[in-house]
């Protein structure tokens, strides 16, 4: 398949959608990003890289980081301990909702809503002693980009407007579902979300999910069944409370972020990352979802 020709066609199709939706203005540092940007990258399992549009422009990964924190926890522990503290079911509520935590005794529905990601970050902090730096080093290695860094302005912005996340963390701590002090967990969570990466970087770094757990250097990060499970939860929970609609349209495991990025996986073939900052009311990139929908339509590649 001529990947470049496919991406060029996908970019042309999606470009009119760029600028639709709203940027994440509740995080002031993200509000300043132009909503009409668009980029897409594809990395096949052999490491060949293709891109179109603004595919090498760095942006804030935000919740896409949640897929990597879960993978690192599973890689360090190689057991199912984390699943006693966080579920695997779609939430059906917004990603920062407090409602279900009270009903379900402080156990978040899945690792990709904010409450679940805080639990995963807490576990990674226990396992490594420095959750955010562990993730940054991993992403540098897998992307091949040693210049990846935290964005201080974004981290500070999230901290200044992070009362809802603090409430989630304190509520879970009251049920005994955090191992580390709440301020430390929140700090590492914000730093992880603030990492800046391009579509090229993210598609390359996520390649282990397409290679059934193998890292870029051929060593094994995850057992094949662990990679399968992460992909499964990405499919059912990775695009907030629009996961069913996304699966219907696109048919791929994916994790979105309110920075406008979406990382998608075609197991055994490739990973893709698309970026456009304009979000729908569920927090997913309007142009990004349209692009991935068109990609799977053109190629016939989905998990269905």
Check 10, 73, 119, 240 and give the catalytic one. 240
pLDDT at residue 79 tops 80? no
Tell me how crowded residue 225 is: count the other CB atoms within 10 A of its CB: 9
pLDDT at residue 296 tops 80? yes
Q: In whole angstroms, what is the distance from residue 7 CA to residue 280 CA?
A: 23
pLDDT at residue 77 tops 90? no
Q: In whole angstroms, what is the distance from residue 61 CA to residue 18 CA?
A: 18
Could you state, in order of their start, the residue ranges of all structural domains in the chain? 3-299
> What pLDDT score was predicted for residue 261?
98
Question: Is 285 a catalytic site residue?
Answer: no
Average per-residue pLDDT for the chain: 95
Asked if residue 110 belongs to a known ligand binding site, the reply is no
Asked if residue 163 belongs to a known ligand binding site, the reply is no
**Where residue 152 falls among pLDDT bands split at 50, 70, 90?**
very high
Asked if residue 114 belongs to a known ligand binding site, the reply is yes
Check 23, 33, 233, 258 and give the catalytic one. 258
> What pLDDT score was predicted for residue 123?
97
Asked if residue 26 belongs to a known ligand binding site, the reply is no
> What pLDDT score was predicted for residue 48?
97
Question: Is 120 a catalytic site residue?
Answer: no
Lowest mean pLDDT among 153-162, 274-283, 288-297: 153-162
Check 17, 157, 189, 256 and give the catalytic one. 189
Asked if residue 189 belongs to a known ligand binding site, the reply is yes
> What pLDDT score was predicted for residue 192?
98
Check 6, 33, 63, 265 and give the catalytic one. 63
Q: For residue 95, which of 111, 109, 114 has the smallest C-alpha distance?
A: 114
Asked if residue 231 belongs to a known ligand binding site, the reply is no
Could you tell me which CATH number the domain at 3-299 has? 3.40.710.10
Check 23, 61, 65, 66 and give the catalytic one. 66
Read off the pLDDT of residues 180-211 as tens digits, 9 standing for 90 and up.
Answer: 999 999 999 999 999 999 999 999 999 999 99
Question: Is 17 a catalytic site residue?
Answer: no
> Span 141-145, mean pLDDT?
98
Q: For residue 52, which of 203, 274, 250, 271 has the smallest C-alpha distance?
A: 274
Asked if residue 158 belongs to a known ligand binding site, the reply is yes
Question: Is 3 a catalytic site residue?
Answer: no
For 157-187, b where at least 16 C-beta lie within 10 A, e where not — what string?
bbbeebeebeebbebbbeeebbebebeebbb
Q: Are 188 and 159 in contact (CB under 8 A)?
A: no
Read off the pLDDT of residues 160-187 as tens digits, 9 standing for 90 and up.
Answer: 888 999 999 999 999 999 999 999 999 9
Read off the pLDDT of residues 94-141 as tens digits, 9 standing for 90 and up.
Answer: 666 777 888 889 999 999 999 999 999 999 999 999 999 999 999 999
Question: Is 240 a catalytic site residue?
Answer: yes
Q: In whole angstroms, what is the distance from residue 135 CA to residue 156 CA?
A: 19
């Amino acid at each position: 398949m001529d990947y470049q020709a496919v991406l060029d066609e996908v970019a042309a199709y999606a470009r009119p959608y760029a600028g639709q939706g709203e940027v994440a203005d509740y995080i002031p540092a993200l509000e300043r990003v132009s909503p009409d940007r668009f980029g897409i990258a594809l990395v096949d399992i052999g490491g060949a890289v293709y891109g179109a549009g603004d595919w090498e422009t760095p942006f804030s990964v935000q919740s896409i980081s949640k897929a990597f924190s879960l993978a690192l926890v599973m890689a360090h522990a190689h057991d199912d301990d984390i699943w006693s503290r966080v579920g695997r079911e779609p939430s059906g509520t917004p990603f920062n909702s407090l409602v279900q935590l009270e009903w379900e005794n402080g156990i978040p529905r899945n690792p990709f809503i904010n409450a679940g990601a805080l639990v995963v970050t807490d576990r990674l902090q226990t396992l490594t002693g420095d959750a955010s730096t562990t993730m940054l080093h991993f992403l540098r290695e897998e992307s091949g980009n040693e210049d990846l860094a935290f964005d201080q302005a974004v981290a500070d912005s999230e901290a200044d407007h992070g009362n809802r996340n603090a409430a989630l963390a304190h509520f879970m701590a009251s049920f005994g579902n955090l191992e580390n002090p709440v301020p430390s967990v929140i700090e590492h969570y914000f730093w992880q979300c603030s990492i800046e990466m391009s579509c090229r970087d993210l598609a390359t770094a996520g390649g282990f999910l397409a290679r059934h757990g193998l890292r870029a250097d051929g060593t094994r990060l995850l057992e094949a069944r662990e990679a399968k499970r992460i992909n499964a939860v990405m499919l059912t929970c990775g695009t907030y409370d629009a996961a069913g609609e996304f699966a219907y349209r696109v048919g791929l495991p994916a994790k979105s972020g309110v920075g406008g990025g979406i990382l998608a996986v075609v197991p055994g073939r490739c990973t893709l990352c698309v970026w456009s900052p304009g979000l729908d009311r569920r927090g997913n990139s309007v142009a990004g979802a349209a692009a991935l929908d068109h990609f799977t339509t053109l190629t016939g590649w989905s998990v269905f």
